[in-house]
Amino acid sequence: MPDQPDFAALIASRICHDLISPIGAISNGVELLGMEDPTRPELALLSESAANANARIRFFRISFGAARPEQRIARSEVSAILADLTNGGRVAYDWTSPPDLSRREVRLVLLLVQCLETALAYGGKVRITHDQDRWTLTAEAPRLRADVTLWTVLAGSPPPRDLTAAQVQFALVPPALAELGRSLAIDSTPVSISLSF
């Protein structure tokens, strides 16, 4: 029997694809209203919210969407998404990689970024580097808050039965690693967590 398509990833791709246009239209409408009276504070709030929603949708499309083995993605696209997410956020991102990347690898990286974000409840920085076919992600903050149960999922433990939607990335990492034939190394200190594959 042939392998079934990844329906969840296809649904995620479809939702993100269909939401990008209306969110872009809202951004354009806010920009036009701003030309009439740029001093209105509610327009700044609407503009910031629409830009953040746009960045999140693009981020989720890569993280949760379908990716074929041959698909590529440009570093500039990923960097732009992370830069947009940084605006007004508590987490900063630093991405260093070659310009042309495997979309499946980037999907795994962004799932891991979301795992690291859960430990950065008070803000911090995430560095992502790609060197000689190896990815390394490091989250740093003066204060981390890591849920040990979730992090054991990355090491192969089954996900907890009460896994929430905000934690689903932890359950998606092991199959994504297996798909690429990779294993994950985890190293942590009181002020940093480093992941590499």
What residue spans define the domains of the chain? Answer: 1-66, 90-197
pLDDT tens, position by position, 110-131: 999 999 999 999 999 999 999 9
- Tokens 């029997």 sit on residue: 1
Residue 1: what pLDDT? 43
DSSP state of 37: -
pLDDT of residue 155: 86
Count of Cβ atoms closer than 10 Å to residue 152 Cβ:
15
- Give this prediction's pTM: 0.87
d(C-alpha 162, C-alpha 175), whole Å: 19
Supply the pLDDT for residue 87: 81
Domain 90-197 homologous superfamily, CATH: Histidine kinase-like ATPase, C-terminal domain (3.30.565.10)
The answer to whether residue 21 scores a pLDDT higher than 50 is yes
Q: How far apart are CA 130 and CA 106, in angstroms?
A: 10
What average pLDDT does range 28-37 have in this prediction? 84
Instruction: Please report which confidence band the pLDDT of residue 47 belongs to, taking 50, 70 and 90 as the band edges.
Output: confident
Amino acid 138: pLDDT? 98
Q: Which residue did the predictor score with more confidence, 137 or 90? A: 137
Plot region of 145 (φ>0 → left; ψ -120 to 50 → alpha; else → beta): beta
pLDDT of the residue at 100:
96
Asked whether 100 and 74 are in contact (CB, 8 A), the reply is: yes
In terms of DSSP H, where are the helices of 37-167? 41-64, 75-86, 103-119, 148-154
Pick the more confident residue, 95 or 29: 95
CB 129 within 8 A of CB 136: yes
C-alpha distance from residue 184 to each of 66, 126, 140, 144, 161 (Å): 21, 17, 18, 20, 23
Q: Residue 105 pLDDT more than 50?
A: yes
Question: Once rounded to an integer, what is the mean pLDDT over residues 85-91?
Answer: 84
Which pLDDT does position 2 carry in this prediction? Answer: 54
How many angstroms separate the CA atoms of 35 and 146, rounded?
45
